[in-house]
Each structure stands twice: as structure tokens, then as C-alpha cells.
Structure 1
Amino acid sequence: MRGIPFNIGWKFFLGEPEAPHLTTTNDADWRTVSLPHDWSVELSFDQEKGEACTGYLPGGIAWYRKHFVTDENMAGKKIYLHFDGIYNRASVYCNGKLLRFHPYGYSPFVVDITDFLNPVHEDNVIAVKVDHSRYADSRWYTGSGIYRKVSMHILPKLHIPVWGTFYSTPVVRDDHAIVKGQITVTNASDQDQNFDLIGKIFDPHGNQVASQSITYRIGSNEHDEICMEFTVPYPKRWDIHQPNMYRAEVDIIVGGEVIQREKTSFGIRDFYFDKDKGFFLNGRRTLIKGVCLHHDAGLVGAAVPGDVWRRRLELLKDMGCNAIRTAHNPVSEDFLDLCDEMGFLVQEEFFDEWDNPKDKRKNGEEKFVDYITRGHAEFFREYAKEDLQNTVRRDRNHPCIIQWSIGNEIEWTYPKYNEATGYFGMNASGNYFWTLPPNSKEQIRENIRKIPEDAYDIGKTAKKLADWTRELDTTRPVTANCILPSASYESGYIDALDMVGYSYRRVIYDYGHEHYPDKPIMGTENVGQWHEWKAVLEREFVAGTFIWTGIDHLGEASVQKPWPRKSSNVGLIDLAGFPKPAFHMFKSLWSDEPHIHMVTQQLEKSLYELRDGDLQEKEEGAWQRRLWFWHDVNHHWNYRAGEQIVVEVYSNCDEVSLYLNDSLVGTRYLHEFEDRIYKWLVPFQPGELKAVGKKDGKTVQTAIYTVGSIHGIALQTDKDSVKADLDSVVHVTAQFVDEQGFAITNQEERIDFEVDGPCRILGVDNGSPDSVEDYQKNHVTTHLGRCLMILQGTAPGTITIRARNIRTNVVSNECQVKVIPSSVDLCP
């Protein structure tokens, strides 16, 4: 995050102490924390104090305070604090004065504290009240607190403000690129100012490749936008997983002295969406292989260290994913930096609610809103423009961003339009998920025409949001995730968009392209099943898809099962970052490298039955309508002798041979399976079950084994050194193994971690949506025989890690991790 880090040495109090905003308040007994900080994830899952929608974790009201001294460098300067995200309803005080109320939990904001600081060498106090007493105000887990970073900006009175630069690349060719710079300059003094503006462009290797200088005069207390243009020879394009990043530097020079140097990273690339041919990046048609992600990361909640996101994004990259949709809100600046660095495309979304609230307990069934479930809708009309435009200003230099999404499934909150489609109401016919609109385009249009306008109209609000976006950026299309596009095409909603995203509406891809041919289309929320991707492959005009979801998120815990449960279990990767079966299906679809993965299930519990000598679906063609939840499968080879076991293999290999104890069971071919799941029926015998696949002359294989009782714990770390800073962590995995060293996935026991050295345990988890054990402990019951611990180094030294199962007295191998110094200390 840009600016001077302002994250260490905050004081925290959960509750409402006396006069917490005043400088005279004694906060010595308050807890000391570093930012980012999420207090909800530190608490216990609680069916009484929490709600399913936000993962049964409580909210509340809390205060943060930070002391700092006005130093000589601040004298005569403008001082700003940049908060990247506070959830939510934040009130910011400086030395007892209320400076800002900021209700939206996901948008960044900047506070000018210049006029409220004490004289040089005197102490100041920043106090922040966070009111998350409405702890069920979202349809997913939000976190509570200053859960993103804070930075300070010390600027001269003549300055480029925070988010004051914007670089775009209107011309990109092999031999040169034109880089356009829009530089905002503010003169906060009472005198006109003459200055030179010198801009330089540096390539990914740090070589200067272009420059421009401008002499300018600006009036007192004014701000101007100054345009610069650079020609970059033979540009290295930013591309998917080839993230070439350039750097722009702009100096403000007064009287021969550089008074400010503003550095901005950006990428050179060109892209467009074609209504008939899909998405093109750098002149190449590219399928968007995307996933939706919420902003939490399991045991760390919403306060996510950079290395946690890096591990998760690396897994998605390995799967073949190339795009992220930030469902359903702006993400952190650090997250977008990672996407720039790793070469992911991003659709950044602004809002889940507009004028009207959603029922947080009943997705898509807007029935009831009470105090604790009142979300951002009550603040939307007053704050939406600022929230949206702050996000665009902060993020528009990120080359990863290819779309701005103004809203998610907003149609549910304007229900008067929905019956016009014929899907709902007394005469409803068909299911909106799987059937074409019962009413014709003309009928829908006429039905909508007859509906009286309300004070808040979906089309008018969409136009406002789209216009506010385009005021700041016209280089990316404005889109939205539409759950009922057949209505939104006629309500004015889609008229405001440059392209349209379909939410679970693959059945009307052809309908939309035929009846509304001028709007590019893509799937922006789709279930993690083969049939969704198949629909994209069969239609050149569909740019791609975003699967719901890439990784399990906390909240939506009432989906599929009641308490005890903390998440919805619809991701391709679980809460602890372990891949699930659907991950392997999509790796077989999205990766060019040969891939193979095997699971098993008893015949009677499977999707299949034996018919005509082969395994067939119990419900013929059911694979074409499977939804979010992957069917129940096992990861082991432990059954009763002779029991009929279905073996499933997910693979992109042209052929797969299955062996049981080195005897060939059979060879099958991918073209035999419409659902792209290889399958055999095998009478169980103990031993080794092995699948061998062949593709493009390459051979890959996987095996599972009949395992015995717990004999050991295999402990592993994802790195052997870690920095002592806020973003550097080590992931420690523990897996039960038997006497042969084979992973045990069908026996669960508690694992206790024993950790020595300069570190902090951020938490433990097993990845299961049904586990409601506290995160903030050093022990956890396994799921699939494994679990995860995340550690953060606090000072230079060596961390020693072991794991133990107390019941069996089994002890793991020992791992050591070196903690190396960092430029950012964890302690004040």
C-alpha cells in the first residue's frame, strides 16, 4: 500500500469506554494491535450471538487509538491519512475532533488531518470508532474493524494528491506505445505557483525509456489536471501470467528543487470485448477463466496478510484460472498489486445493494430486514458517488482491471420488474435457472411499460453509477452481474452498461445474443460444473465465465445445512486453502498440462447405478443441471472386501487406465463420457489403486492406498524463511499418515501444535465448513486427516514447529523456519 505505513502500535478496545476519542483518555490498558485487524475472527463461533449469513461470528462496537508525534517534517505540509477499508460505520477523530463518518466497509477514503495536529514535538491521537453492531448486515462474512492497512501522506502545499495520477495506453503496437498521463496538481497555498512538472517512464528492468517536462502556473487554492504524453519504444506488454510492469515518476520542481516525487506502477496492454468474438487481450482472443472471490481468507478473517493471498492465487493459477471477480465489493490495494504482479485479470465490483436492501438471511427472497441486517442501502444514495469514485481513483492504474461492475444481482431488490418475465407470479411457468423466459421480448417490454415508476428506479440508478464511473475512466467497460437479464434488457438497467454479465443464466446466452446483439455477453457468476464451461466453449460470442466461487468464504452458512456450520461449501478450494474435487475438474478443463485426480464412493451412495453392464447416472442427463455443490466422494481406498466401489477420475488425458494392485481394471477414453468424469465400478480389494493417463505423448498418474491406523504426522511448511512483517507468513500443514507413510484421509483426531521462537500463531483450521472450533488456538481436529496453522514472524530468530496427537502420543517430524529482518517491524 502506498504512503508511509501507519499500522503499528494501535490500541484496541472492544466495547465503548468513557471518552475514547479524547487525548486525555488513558489507553495504557487497551490491547496493542497491528493493522490490518479483524476482531470478529478472534471470537468464538456462536449460534446465539451470530447469524448464519455472516458465519456465526459476532460483531459489536470497538475503538482504535494511535498516538504519534508531530515531527519537523510535517511543519508547513499537508498531512493525510489513507484508510483502505474499515468495516464499518467508521468515525475518525483527530485530537478529539470528529473529522469523518464513513459508513461503507469496503471503499477507501482519505482524511485531511493537517489543521487538527498539535504543534511540532507534541503528541497526537487518532481515534476510530467502528460500529458493527449490525453484525448480520451482509450476505457473507465481512469482518469487523480496521481490517485493511492505513498509510500517512506528508505532502507539500503544492502537490499531487493521493490517487492523483492516471496512466492509460491508448496506442499499443509492437514498435511503440503511447502512454497518456493525467496528473492532478493541487495548490493549497494562498499564492499562485509556478513550477516544472517532469515525468519519466521506466521499463520492467528499471531503465528510463521516455520523459517529458512541462512548465505550469496554477492559481492559489486551485487544482488542475495536467496531461502528459510519452512514447515508449518496443513495449513489453502486461499479459496473463506475464506481468510486465512499468513505473512512472513525476517530479514537481519549484526553484530548482524537487518538492514531490510521485511514483506509479502501471502496465502497457490493450484489450476489448467484441459482441460476436468475445474478449481480446493484446490482439489475441482469450477466454476468461475466472472465479469469484470474497475478501476473507478463512482463519485470518478479513485481515489477510499478503502471503495468504499469494498462496491462494498461486493455487488458482496452477488450476488454469486467469481472472478474479471481486464479489461483491472493492478489494484492498494490496490484493490488486498482487494481481498486477501475478498476471490475473480482474473485474472489480462496487456494490451488492443500491437503493433497496437485500434480505441477508434469504438470498433472492427479499422478505425481511431488521436492525441487525440493515446493510449499506440506507447510506447508498448519500455516499455511493464518493465510494465508487474513490475506488476508481485508487485502482485505475492497475493493468489487471479489465471491467468495472456497478452491482451484483440488484434485480432482486427491484422486484416489480421480475414478474414481467413470466418466471414469477400467479401464472408463472418454467424455472428461471434452466428455461427461456416464458414471455416474449415484446411481452416483457409491454409489461414493464405498464409498471408505475417508483422514487428509485433501477435503470436511473444504473445510469448514475455508470456515468460516475466514466467520469474518471473510459478505458474499461462498465458491466454488472444480472440475475434476470431478460427483464434488465427492458428496464433500462442494461442500457446503462457497456456489456452485460449473466448470473446463472447460461440458458439464455443465445437469447441475449439474438435479441440484443449489440451488447457483449459473458458469464459473471456460474456454478463450478463442466456444463457451465461447455456452454462457453460452444459460443464464440461468450467472453468467458466467473465461477462461484474460487475459494470457500465464511458466511452464507445456512446454505445446504444448518448449524453447526460456518460457510457455504461451494468453492473449488476450501477455507484452509486445500483443493477440493471441483478444483481438479476445472484444472482438467482450464490447464493445458496433463492432469489426473481420483476419488471413490460406495455404489449406493454415488450418482450412478449399474445398467447394461456399465455405470449410468441414476437420473439420466442430471450432470447438465448440477449446481454449486460437488457430489459426495471419498479420498480414500478403505472399504469392505468385495464391496462395489465407484472410482471417478477427473482428467484432461485422452485415455486413462486403472490398475488395482498392478492388475489392469480397464482403459477408458475421455470421449466416452459426456460429463467428463472417467468412471469404473470396482469390487474392493485392499492395496494400491492407481490411475495412469496419457495426453500429447505425456504420461501422468495418481494413486490412493488402503491405509492402516495413525502412525505419524507429516509436518510441512511452505517456506523455510519468513520476514518479520505484516504480510509475510508461513503456512504449516499437518497430515496423519500410517506406518507406510500413506496419507490418512478417513480418520480424524485432534492435532496440537507446539511452537517455539519469535512468532505469533494467527490461527488454525481444517478447511471443513462444518467445523466451528475457534481459530485462535494451537489445536484443531483434522478434516480429511489434515489441518493448517499460519504463523507470522515477530523478530529475527528461528521458529521450531512440532505437532502431536495426545491420544495416540504420535509426534510429527520437526520443522524450522528462519525469521529474517524486515523494513517494517511488527512491534511499535
Structure 2
Amino acid sequence: MKALLTAILLTVLCANSYAETEKNVGRQRVNIDFDWLFYLGDDAEAKQSSFADQNWRKLDLPHDWSIEGEYQQDNPAGYRGGFLPTGIAWYRKHLQWDERWRDKHVEIEFDGVYMNSEVYINGHLLGKRPYGYIGFVYDLSQYLKPGDNVISVRVDHSKAPSGRWYTGSGIYRHVWLTTKAKVHIPYSGTWVRSENVSETQADLMVTTEISNRLAQAQQVMLSTEVIDDSGQIVALLTTPVALPAGVTKSTEQKFTIKNPKLWSVDQAKLYTVRSKISQNQRLLDNVDTSTGIRNIEISAARGFVLNGKPLILQGAGMHHDAGPVGSAVPDDVLRGRLIKLKAMGVNAIRTTHNPFAPEFYQMADEMGFVVMNEAFDGWWTPKAKFDYGLYFDKWWQRDLEDFIKRDRNHPSVVMWSIGNEVPKYTSEQQKRIKTFVEQLDSTRAITQGRGYAGGHLDIAGFNGHGEYLNAMPDFHQEYPNLPAIGTEMTHTMHTRGVYRSKTRYRTRDNPAPWEVQNNEKKWQALKPSVYPLADFTETEVFPEANIKYGSSFDNSVVRMPIREEIRLARDLPYLLGTFRWTAFDYIGESFGWPARTANFGVLDLAGFPKGVYYLYQSQWAKAPMVHLDPHWTHPGKAGIEIPVVVYSNQYSVELLLNGHSLGEKIMTDEMQLLWKVPYQSGTLTAIAKNANGKVIVKDIVQTAGKATGLAIKADKTMISANRRDVVHLEIDIVDDKGVMLPSANNLVTINIEGPGRLIGVENGDILDLAPHKVPTRKAFMGKVLALVQATDQSGDIEVTISAASLTSQHITIVAH
């Protein structure tokens, strides 16, 4: 029992991204995010260790300086970058000599720097990397010296726009310092994959690279353990390895796992592969690799099959930014976003259009998401004036190799995407990139956002062109043996708390910047090929809504409504599934000034769900649910028929107004129930029942009175004093009965006392250009989000929320 507890403890420690392994045993990998120095500007002398940096700002990583700036129309990033600033900046980190470094290999790992980074150690240039989305490693060993050692990083994001969306600026992901023996496993030096998988047996193949940085040949032992999720060692192999001087050598081991615990979206079972390098019974290096055992089959006949069972990919595209924190996303914020997607019924995520942070993939492994892992937006031809296309020819192979080797152990990663809507590429270029990927990993299918059928792809990718009437059946008729996936399907546009009773099409009613010119002509050309959607009413019931806001009903579309997307994925076997555009609103690609985004998400910039979130949930999630829209506070609309839409995964729904039944309706393939209810204030109730008439779940909305106070909902009230943990505070403007006022826009103030700090405020309003790092924010549709992060001090964090003429609210968060 003692051995079992020790194994479990080791597994838990290795799962903790910030845990340091036991000192002087094998490798030590420590996080060095804290206490960096920052200067927004350029100074060529900042690379020198003797440079005077005592007046620079001290901060912790991850850090994004763009999100700290002001939204301005003339910022060079423009509508693509959400009108936020870019520029050049320097970071410096002082490392004091550690005796553990003597005669060791010491390297620094950056998980992501946007962009054009130059890294120096004590004035020596270690290297440059233009791509802002993939991590990289530098060897510090020969430059470290007793005393003070200075890491200096220049980040050049002066030329913008450098992307078609908000990119952020700076060292916006984690940084690590790893110390290991001169004979060691290099960065991304293990490759684990499963073969011949069944419920009774599976083969686990493990390839381990070992580097000998010594001038003499070495004889070592490679010991590899396979540990299950209970901490039990289920397989072990030890192999002698002869290493010539200065050589990196790969060794392959094969394990047979009896009765494997298979990884799936519902049971995300993980194994740890523990690799140890020893010499004369002395441990030189050790690496833990988290992985999973699963089998994937993809075909036009059966679709996507996971462990022998067909799985419809219920997916969403995501960008890497997260509202008020920009691209510097704390782990708690990222996990919170994924939890909301899981509750919605999402089982698949597309990383658009670049590699994500390493912790995202570990979370996907643990939570049971399958991932379309995307390497690039475009290739040799730039799509934004100063994007990666300018560097692609020189760097794509280096970056792609680092990307594939970094992520190929993750069971969540089920396919590679090599590009997105790539302009002016040739068939030969596509083949060249695909072949390169296959040399690194031949176990996964390869696709491309808007990948053309008849090319070299394993799966045809469909973006907006897959949303036209009959697009998918026409494709299948021409290519009956080629599976397809909706890489961006469908595009719809919604704003939380905003509703329209008449259908809206983007091109016709609110054209994007590239559609504005001649939009009526473009609409007439487009109209015959888009899905027709009937209006709820002849006259718009909600004419007060700003034209820049979408409707929270499924009637605010580009080409195809959500319900058609769900039907296609459900009914067409050759369509593996869809990745709706998008999961969350993201900064950039906006409608133009003053909009900072284009509200494609089913959750807004604050992470608050919009109405159609619940449409997806009713079709994708298993937990019983019912949801009705809109809210029931409509002053000035007495007697006007309000369209009431209900989503549910139950057999039928009865609607009541002030206790009087408005009828019961059976859920159909229309996926929504519609009542037209003459408005009167009071209580609207949706009662969902099963086929036997038993009440399963209810949803209630009430008319709000006068605003009198505030309500706070925290996702947790106890955190660690680790400078990382984050509390999400959902703040509502409420009446004296606690009912939220859906149109409230009061200015809210957040006051924090004690060991906590405010790292961001947001309300989800795409037209609100207020800064994110201040303690005030106007409510939008009655709500505000505040993010509070721990410091390194324990104690009570006292948060007081106030607004003029409203009763203040208080909450205590305990940091320990």
C-alpha cells in the first residue's frame, strides 16, 4: 500500500505544471514566470547584463502589453487587431547562480512569445524566432556564470497588422528553466503512440531520444515505465543504449498493455510514460509523458470512429485570446472556458489558426476534448500585411517540426490542420507540407481549413463555402470516398441579451468591412444559395437594438443557421462533424470602428453565454435542460406579441405566463419551440417533461423592477496564495427581489483589499472601448465580469462591488 501511495503521489506531482522534481535527482524543471522586468520601448543596450534596469516595471508572466493599452482607431493593427496597440518591448530576468547548474545542461523554454523575439543571456544572442505561436528552447549552459545572470528578450511587434485577428504582444505564455545531465532526453524527445487497440489489449510504442553532450562515448540504461491513472505500473522495459560522443540517438520500445483503459471524450483515461536515463545505477535524467490509449478510424462510410464507436464531432473554433486578459491567459481562465464548452456539449475544438499553449492540450486530454490542431493560417503568401507569410519560406519546417513533436503525444489531438483558407497555393506546396508532417507523425489524418477536395488531404475541410445550400451533398457526389469536416461551420452572429424578431443576414443587414462596398449587389448574388429563414413577425418587435449587435435567437446568420449545421453533421456520415465559428467572441476581425470584434461566439468576451449556447446544449449535452428566450423585461411593449423560443432535450415543454398555461408542445426536429406571447409583466415558466409527462426540469424568467443593488457569483471562494489562481466574479445589477435587469448599464466599481489583485474587467459589449485593467466597468445587459488573482500572501481578499445609488455587495475570498 505504501508503494501504491508513493506512485500516486508522483503521478499527481507530475500533473502539476508548476511542481519541481526532487532536488539533485534527475532533472529539475522550474517555472520562472515571476519577477520579470519590462520596458515598453526599444533600447539596444538592454541586452547587456550590466544595463541599468532598476526603474523598469516589475511583473509576472504571462504578459500581454497590447491588452493593457487603449483602443484607438488609428492604431496600426486596425480592425484586424481590434484597434489595440502593438510596438517593441524588452523583458529582463535576473537569475542567480545555482550550484546545481555546475557541469549540467541548462536550458530555458519559452512556450510562446509574440513576435519576432530575440533572446540574450549576459549579452550573448541565443537566437531569433519570428513565429509567435510555437515554443522554443535555448541552451544556456556555456554562458552561465557565478553571480548574476541576465536573460534579456526583445519582442518586435512594431509592424501591424501581423495577423487577421488579435494576436497580443509579449511573453504571453509560460517560461521554464530545466537543469539536467549532459546525457539527457532533449526537449520533445519522447514519442508515444498506440497501435492494435482493443478493449482487451493494446500495443504502446515509445520512441525516446537520448542526447550525449559529452566528448566521450557513454553507455546508459533507458528504463521506461507505463503507469495507469491509479498509479499502478502496468508495464516496464529497460534497454541498454550506447551513445557515441556528441550524438542524439533514438531508441524504440514496445509495450503490450492488457485490458487498457481507453481514452475517450466521456472517459478521459490517461497513462503516464516515465522515462529514466541512468548510468551505474545513478539517475541522470527523467521525463514524464502524459498520454492516452485510443483507436481512431476515419472514412466517408462511417465518419469519425473512436474506439470502434462512431462519434459526431460537436466542435467549435477558438482563438487564443480570452477577453480582458488578451492573449496572456492564466490557466484558471483557460480551464474555466473549457468547462463552459463541456457543459454546452462541445466534444471537439479547432485551434484557430495556430498552435495553442501547451497547457491547453493537457486540459483537453484530461477533460475529454478531441482537437483539430492547426499549425498555420496561411503559407508563403501573407494574408495580413506583416504576418508570418513574410517568414514562412525560411521557418515553416522548423516551426512545424517543433509543433508536431510537441503535441503528438496527446490523445486529444486527433488530426493535424496544415493551414486555413490559404491563398494562392499550389497542389505541390500542399503535398510538400503534408509529406513533411507525415514524416514526423503518420498516425493522424491531415486536413486544412477550406481544404480543397481532390488535393492531397485525408479530409476535405469546409469553411463558409460548406454553408451554401446543397454544398455538402454536391461535394459527396463528386468525391464519394473522401470524408469531410466543417472546419468553420457555421458562421452565426449573436449578442447576449439582444433579440430580433426578423431574420438578419450579415451581407444584407450588417456587412463586414470587406462587404460594405456594393453590399446590395453582393446580397442579391448570394441570396439564392443561402438557407432561407422565416421571420418570427412581420414587423420588428425589437427595433431599438443597435445594428452592430446580433440576435440571440438562431436568426442572425451569414449563410446557414445553427440548426442546419447540427442536422448536416448528424445525418451525413461522410461529414465527420463541424467546428462552429466560434466558441467565444474574440478580439479583432471586427465590423470596423468602434467594434472591437464581430460577435461570432456563442459566449461573449466575458465568457457569458448567449441565447444560442442553449440551442447547442439542447442538441449536444446529455444533462436534462430547458431554456427560454428572451428575458421578460420589455417596458413599453405591453400587449405586443413577443416571440418566445424554448430549447430543450426533453420530450415536451409547457409554457406558463403568471401561472396560466399557454400550451404544451412536443419537441421536433425544428430543435426549438415558438410561442408568440402578448407581453405583460410577471413570470414566464418553461416546464420540460419526459414522454410519460413527468416534469424533469424548469426554466423561469421574471420581469425586473427598479435596480436597487448588485449580486455577485464567484466560481470559487478559496484559492492558493501562488500568484496564479484566478477567481471569476460574475456581477449582476438586480432589483429588490434579486432579479437581474437585462438592460442595466450602471458603472460598476470593484474595490479589492487584501492579498489579491484585479487583472481584468469585461462586460461583453463589442462597442465598449473602455480599458480592461481598471477597477470600473459599465454593465452591459445587466452584467460585468471581474477577474481577481492571488498574490503570494495568504489571508482574506475582501472584494466590494458598488455602483451609484445601488446597495453595495461584498464577498470574501480566502487565500491560503
**Normalised-by-shorter TM-score class:** 0.7 to 0.9
Shift in alpha-carbon separation, 1:386–1:262, aligned structure 2, 3 A: same
**Unpaired stretches in structure 2, ≥5 consecutive residues:** 1-16, 19-28, 493-561
Residue number in structure 1 paired with 2:92 = 65
**Are 1:176 and 1:235, in contact at CA under 8 Å, matched by a contact in 2?**
yes
Residue number in structure 1 paired with 2:444 = 476
* Mapped partners of 2:670, 2:159: distance in 1: 44
- Are 1:681 and 2:676 counterparts? yes
CA RMSD of superposed structures (Å)? 1.5
Residue number in structure 1 paired with 2:256 = 231
Query: For 1:52, what is the secondary structure of its paired residue?
Result: coil
Shift in alpha-carbon separation, 1:465–1:635, aligned structure 2, 3 A: farther
AA matched with 2:814: K
Residue number in structure 2 paired with 1:525 = 488
AA matched with 1:346: V
Residue number in structure 1 paired with 2:813 = 817
Residue number in structure 2 paired with 1:33 = 59
Residue number in structure 2 paired with 1:556 = 589
- Are 1:460 and 2:472 counterparts? no
Q: Give deviations 1:197-248, integer Å, cap 9, x for gaps.
A: 1111111011111100111211111111100111222111111032111111
Q: CA deviation at 1:731?
A: 0.5
**Across the two proteins, how many residue pairs are aligned to each other?**
713
Q: CA deviation at 1:726?
A: 4.8
Q: 2:749 aligns with which of 752, 772, 778?
A: 752
Q: Give deviations 1:30-65, integer Å, cap 9, x for gaps.
A: 011111110111111111225111111100000001
* Mapped partners of 1:637, 1:677: distance in 2: 22
Q: CA deviation at 1:352?
A: 0.5
Residue number in structure 1 paired with 2:474 = 511
State how 1:475-494 maps to structure 2 within 5 Å. 475-482=443-450, 488-490=452-454, 494=455
Q: Which moved more, 1:141-150 or 1:745-754?
A: 745-754
**Are 1:289 and 1:590, in contact at CA under 8 Å, matched by a contact in 2?**
yes
**Are 1:724 and 1:792, in contact at CA under 8 Å, matched by a contact in 2?**
no
* Mapped partners of 1:194, 1:277: distance in 2: 49
Q: CA deviation at 1:698?
A: 4.6
Residue number in structure 2 paired with 1:826 = none
Q: 2:223 aligns with which of 171, 195, 198?
A: 198
Residue number in structure 2 paired with 1:399 = 411
Shift in alpha-carbon separation, 1:738–1:289, aligned structure 2, 3 A: same
**Are 2:482 and 2:574, in contact at CA under 8 Å, matched by a contact in 1?**
no
Q: 2:687 aligns with which of 679, 686, 692?
A: 692
**Unpaired stretches in structure 1, ≥5 consecutive residues:** 361-372, 415-456, 601-633, 821-828
Residue number in structure 2 paired with 1:390 = 402
Residue number in structure 2 paired with 1:19 = 45
Residue number in structure 1 paired with 2:499 = none
Q: Give deviations 1:364-396, integer Å, cap 9, x for gaps.
A: xxxxxxxxx311101001000111110111111
**Are 1:637 and 1:707, in contact at CA under 8 Å, matched by a contact in 2?**
no
* Mapped partners of 2:261, 2:167: distance in 1: 38
* Mapped partners of 1:789, 1:780: distance in 2: 9
Residue number in structure 1 paired with 2:156 = 131
* Mapped partners of 1:217, 1:720: distance in 2: 54
Q: CA deviation at 1:173?
A: 2.0
Q: Report % sequence identity.
A: 34
AA matched with 1:785: G
State how 1:577-656 maps to structure 2 within 5 Å. 577-600=607-630, 636-656=633-653
* Mapped partners of 1:18, 1:481: distance in 2: 40
* Mapped partners of 1:64, 1:127: distance in 2: 6
Q: CA deviation at 1:635?
A: 6.1
AA matched with 1:711: T
* Mapped partners of 2:806, 2:625: distance in 1: 38
Q: CA deviation at 1:653?
A: 3.0
Residue number in structure 2 paired with 1:620 = none
Shift in alpha-carbon separation, 1:809–1:513, aligned structure 2, 3 A: closer
* Mapped partners of 1:743, 1:313: distance in 2: 26
- Are 1:289 and 2:253 counterparts? no
Q: 2:578 aligns with which of 522, 537, 545?
A: 545
Query: For 1:463, what is the secondary structure of its paired residue?
Result: helix
Residue number in structure 2 paired with 1:764 = 761
* Mapped partners of 2:176, 2:480: distance in 1: 46
* Mapped partners of 1:651, 1:781: distance in 2: 33
Query: For 1:347, what is the secondary structure of its paired residue?
Result: strand
Q: CA deviation at 1:594?
A: 3.0
Residue number in structure 2 paired with 1:569 = 599
Q: Give deviations 1:637-676, integer Å, cap 9, x for gaps.
A: 54432222222222233322211111112222323xx643
Question: Which TM-score applies when normalising by structure 2?
Answer: 0.85
* Mapped partners of 2:815, 2:160: distance in 1: 37
- Are 1:93 and 2:120 counterparts? yes
**Are 1:4 and 1:151, in contact at CA under 8 Å, matched by a contact in 2?**
yes
Q: Give deviations 1:76-96, integer Å, cap 9, x for gaps.
A: 112211111100011111111
Residue number in structure 1 paired with 2:73 = 47
**Are 1:637 and 1:705, in contact at CA under 8 Å, matched by a contact in 2?**
no
Q: CA deviation at 1:308?
A: 0.6
AA matched with 2:391: F
- Are 1:717 and 2:743 counterparts? no
* Mapped partners of 2:436, 2:690: distance in 1: 50
State how 1:316-395 maps to structure 2 within 5 Å. 316-358=341-383, 360=384, 373-395=385-407
Residue number in structure 2 paired with 1:182 = 207
State how 1:739-818 maps to structure 2 within 5 Å. 739-794=736-791, 795-806=793-804, 808-812=805-809, 814-818=810-814
Question: Which TM-score applies when normalising by structure 1?
Answer: 0.84
Residue number in structure 2 paired with 1:299 = 324
* Mapped partners of 2:703, 2:237: distance in 1: 69
* Mapped partners of 1:741, 1:692: distance in 2: 22
Q: Which moved more, 1:329-338 or 1:10-19?
A: 10-19
Query: For 2:261, what is the secondary structure of its paired residue?
Result: coil
Query: For 1:206, what is the secondary structure of its paired residue?
Result: coil
Query: For 1:302, what is the secondary structure of its paired residue?
Result: coil
- Are 1:9 and 2:42 counterparts? no
Residue number in structure 2 paired with 1:366 = none
Shift in alpha-carbon separation, 1:708–1:198, aligned structure 2, 3 A: same
- Are 1:117 and 2:116 counterparts? no
AA matched with 2:568: A
* Mapped partners of 1:695, 1:576: distance in 2: 34
State how 1:72-91 maps to structure 2 within 5 Å. 72-91=99-118
* Mapped partners of 2:578, 2:487: distance in 1: 5
Q: CA deviation at 1:18?
A: 5.1
Shift in alpha-carbon separation, 1:79–1:101, aligned structure 2, 3 A: same
* Mapped partners of 1:684, 1:232: distance in 2: 63
- Are 1:659 and 2:691 counterparts? no
**Are 2:711 and 2:731, in contact at CA under 8 Å, matched by a contact in 1?**
yes
AA matched with 1:32: K
* Mapped partners of 2:201, 2:453: distance in 1: 40
Query: For 2:80, what is the secondary structure of its paired residue?
Result: helix
Q: CA deviation at 1:720?
A: 1.4
**Are 1:596 and 1:693, in contact at CA under 8 Å, matched by a contact in 2?**
yes
**Are 1:58 and 1:135, in contact at CA under 8 Å, matched by a contact in 2?**
no
Shift in alpha-carbon separation, 1:591–1:637, aligned structure 2, 3 A: farther
Query: For 1:315, what is the secondary structure of its paired residue?
Result: helix
Shift in alpha-carbon separation, 1:725–1:471, aligned structure 2, 3 A: farther
